[in-house]
């Protein structure tokens, strides 16, 4: 007998932070989502912090949002530059997901 096939709209490979957030984003938009990984993912190795442009040119950054336009102009290939306007909504999605399980992300 052939195994039953289950249709998915999105299949995410990887159980690290990026994979989990990608799966959460897809599922929260109504997509039938499958997360696939081997082992426990990389979350057990993380400190729990999410660093977005904490330093630039060897100096601390007080306002990542204020520094992003300069970063994008200087390094348009940088992942934060490529994320563009989607960066803040992505971070907000992580904050909301954390709050749903009682975690407060500060900063």
34-48, 68-82, 87-101, range with the lowest pLDDT:
34-48
Q: What does the alpha-carbon distance between residue 21 and residue 95 come to, in Å, rounded to a whole number?
A: 11
What distances in angstroms separate CA 95 from CA 65, 72, 75, 92, one per listed residue? 16, 24, 27, 5
pLDDT of 26 over the 90 cut:
yes
pLDDT of 73 over the 90 cut:
yes
Quickly state the pLDDT bin for 32 (edges 50, 70, 90): very high
Q: Which of 36-52 are b and which e, b meaning 16 or more Cβ less than 10 Å from the residue's Cβ?
A: eeeeebeeeeeeeeeeb
Q: Are 85 and 92 in contact (CB under 8 A)?
A: no
């Amino acid at each position: 007998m052939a195994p039953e096939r289950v249709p998915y709209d999105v299949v995410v490979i990887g159980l690290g932070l990026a994979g989990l957030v990608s799966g959460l984003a897809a599922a929260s938009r109504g997509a039938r989502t499958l997360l696939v990984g081997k082992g426990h993912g990389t979350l057990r190795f993380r400190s729990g912090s999410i660093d977005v442009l904490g330093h630039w040119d060897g100096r601390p950054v007080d306002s990542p949002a204020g520094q992003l336009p300069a970063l994008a102009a200087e390094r348009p290939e940088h992942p934060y530059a490529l994320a563009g306007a989607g960066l803040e909504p992505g971070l907000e999605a992580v904050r909301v997901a954390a709050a749903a399980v009682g975690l407060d992300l500060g900063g």
